[in-house]
Amino acid sequence: MSSTETGPHLGQDGPPERPAGERRVVANILRGSVGNLIEWYDWYTYAAFAIYFAPVFFPKGDSTAQLLNTAAVFAVGFLMRPLGGWLLGRYADRYGRRNGLTLSVLMMAAGSLIITVAPGHSSIGVMAPVLLVAARLLQGLSVGGEYSTSATYLSEVATPGKRGFYSSFQYVTLVAGQLVALTVQIILQQLLTAGQMQDWGWRIAFGIGTLGALAVMWLRRGMEESESFTSQSRAAGPVHGQGTLRTLMGYPKEVFTVVGLTLGGTVAFYTYTTYMQKFMVNTVGIEKETVSWINFLALLVFICLQPIAGALSDRIGRRALLMFFGVGGTLLTVPILTLLSGTDSPVGAFFLMLSALCFVTGYTSINAVVKAEMFPTHIRALGVGLPYAVTVALFGGTAEYVALWFKQAGNESLFFWYVAGCALVSLVVYVRMWETSRRSHIDGPQPEAATAS
């Protein structure tokens, strides 16, 4: 592969700059990752509070139909993620990671603000769901761009030798956003009546997201641009085709590797986080309140595992952890879900869910840095974001639907094999791909990496 990228310290006057101090690295990581938390808080708040605001935005009638309408709007937002990965990935590759992250959180703030203040169907009729769709489109674009840009930024600003550790905080904050949304819901349910929650209480949650996004936007304005991007700009200026889809197509092996390594991971992640709550209620038969605590505690442990696994990848390499997930997902998914479907013990359900999340950690903790290490600076954000977003939209976003379809057809166990099969596809990719930590484009051009797969 040929690359027009200039290495991080080439073309500068005088000696190379010394690496940023650890405090500066931590400060930049915090600004980047806190924004990721707020973005995902806003994203999950929609799903958590849909049961309350569905009657507000859609005509009165069957509650199931109202929830289906809100679910359809949620799906529209999901389908916007590839477009967000393309638009904001291209923007970040051309104008910088900091600018891309700031624009991303601004779009999320705008979407949350629209939902917070939008009148209901009884006041403005059909314009109410139109405003909801518009807000969700903005949020979908924002989340699609946030992943690509934050994954790129966290990987680029991290201290060499600690990139796995620092980039793992992307999934720490991603899951933390989900937990914060759940915590806000629990608190509001304790403070307000059911009627108050439906009338106006749900707006508080979106208002919190709006204010949080605006605060993060202010914080991100003080972020330092990554050295990889600024070095390229100083040394060579804008690269021809920088951040374009045509340039990205010059890296077909990397693009298909991102798709392959993401496929099994995103299906497993959404199975054991988003769908698991419904699975435990509908299939296992555990009480909803108990299931909420099982999911909360398991996800809390899952968060703590991310930096541990990320730091381990800095020592033993990325492929070892990816293969740990691939082998575990292929061989253990069917036994775990089969045992879980037949248990009547909440404690047993917790440990089964946690065991699944342990091997999923092999993917979630390092997938961001692995993708970032594959691409040169001038196409990195787009290369990380677009193929990932397309794969998540097609496979991660549909995991719950596929599971429910199999259950409705009376063959729920086939879904277990579907998840295991997706993990097997990714395992084949992990076996054949190169060790990105040893041949990382973040450290400079790596022409041999393209042929290593």
- Render pLDDT for 43-52 as a digit per residue (tens, 0 to 9): 788 877 877 8
Residue 340 lies in a domain: yes
Q: Which residue has the tokens 């949650």?
A: 205
| Band of residue 236 on the pLDDT scale cut at 50, 70, 90 | low
Average pLDDT, integer, range 67-85: 73
Whether residue 5 has pLDDT greater than 50: no
Instruction: Select the highest-mean-pLDDT range: 2-11, 61-70, 97-106, 300-309.
Output: 300-309
* Cα dihedral 207→210→213→218 (10° resolution): -110
Cα-based distances in Å from 264 to 222, 289, 325: 37, 30, 9
Whether residue 448 has pLDDT greater than 60: no
Average pLDDT, integer, range 375-397: 84
Average pLDDT, integer, range 183-202: 87
**Statement to judge: residues 90 and 202 lie in one domain:** yes
More confident residue, 40 or 237: 40
pLDDT in tens, 253-289: 989 999 999 999 999 998 998 788 778 888 888 887 7
Whether residue 251 has pLDDT greater than 80: yes
Q: Which of 238, 255, 281 is the last residue of a domain?
A: 238
Whether residue 449 has pLDDT greater than 80: no
Single out the residue of 244, 308, 271 nearest to residue 407, CA to CA. 271
**Statement to judge: residues 124 and 250 lie in one domain:** no
* Least confident residue range of 11-15, 64-68, 363-367, 410-414: 11-15
More confident residue, 345 or 397: 345
Whether residue 100 has pLDDT greater than 90: no
Residue 13 lies in a domain: no
- For the entire predicted model, the pTM comes to 0.79
Residue 333 lies in a domain: yes
Average pLDDT, integer, range 340-347: 90
| Band of residue 68 on the pLDDT scale cut at 50, 70, 90 | low
More confident residue, 437 or 371: 371
**Statement to judge: residues 91 and 31 lie in one domain:** yes
Whether residue 385 has pLDDT greater than 50: yes
Q: Which of 207, 238, 269 is the last residue of a domain?
A: 238
**Statement to judge: residues 215 and 349 lie in one domain:** no
Q: Which of 175, 208, 238 is the last residue of a domain?
A: 238
Task: Give how many domains the chain has, as a whole number.
Answer: 2
**Statement to judge: residues 208 and 290 lie in one domain:** no
Cα-based distances in Å from 22 to 29, 162, 306: 10, 11, 20
Task: State the average pLDDT for the chain.
Answer: 81
For residue 9, give both structure tokens: 């310290």
Task: Return the pLDDT at 12.
Answer: 39
Q: Is there a contact between 258 and 387 (Cβ–Cβ < 8 Å)? A: yes
For residue 85, give both structure tokens: 């990965």
Residue 450 lies in a domain: yes
**Statement to judge: residues 232 and 256 lie in one domain:** no
Task: Return the pLDDT at 275.
Answer: 84
Q: Is there a contact between 330 and 423 (Cβ–Cβ < 8 Å)? A: yes
Task: Return the pLDDT at 437.
Answer: 74
Instruction: Select the highest-mean-pLDDT range: 25-34, 96-105, 217-226, 311-320.
Output: 311-320
Of the chain, the percentage scoring pLDDT greater than 90 comes to: 26
**Statement to judge: residues 312 and 346 lie in one domain:** yes
**Statement to judge: residues 343 and 212 lie in one domain:** no
**Statement to judge: residues 223 and 258 lie in one domain:** no
**Statement to judge: residues 299 and 350 lie in one domain:** yes
Residue 447 lies in a domain: yes
| Band of residue 234 on the pLDDT scale cut at 50, 70, 90 | low
Task: Return the pLDDT at 89.
Answer: 82
Domain that holds residue 220: 19-238
Task: Return the pLDDT at 435.
Answer: 85
Task: Return the pLDDT at 379.
Answer: 80
More confident residue, 161 or 262: 262
Task: Return the pLDDT at 67.
Answer: 59
Residue 10 lies in a domain: no
Task: Return the pLDDT at 61.
Answer: 62
Cα-based distances in Å from 25 to 124, 144, 165: 49, 24, 12
Task: Return the pLDDT at 242.
Answer: 58
Backbone angles phi, psi at 4, to 5 degrees: -95, 5
Residue 14 lies in a domain: no
Cα-based distances in Å from 30 to 36, 295, 314: 10, 26, 20
Whether residue 195 has pLDDT greater than 90: no
**Statement to judge: residues 349 and 423 lie in one domain:** yes
Backbone angles phi, psi at 268, to 5 degrees: -65, -40
CATH classification at residue 247: 1.20.1250.20
Residue 2 lies in a domain: no
Task: Return the pLDDT at 20.
Answer: 45
pLDDT in tens, 394-434: 888 788 888 888 888 888 899 999 999 999 999 999 999 88
Task: Return the pLDDT at 3.
Answer: 40
**Statement to judge: residues 105 and 233 lie in one domain:** yes
Average pLDDT, integer, range 197-216: 90
Q: Which residue has the tokens 């995902």?
A: 40
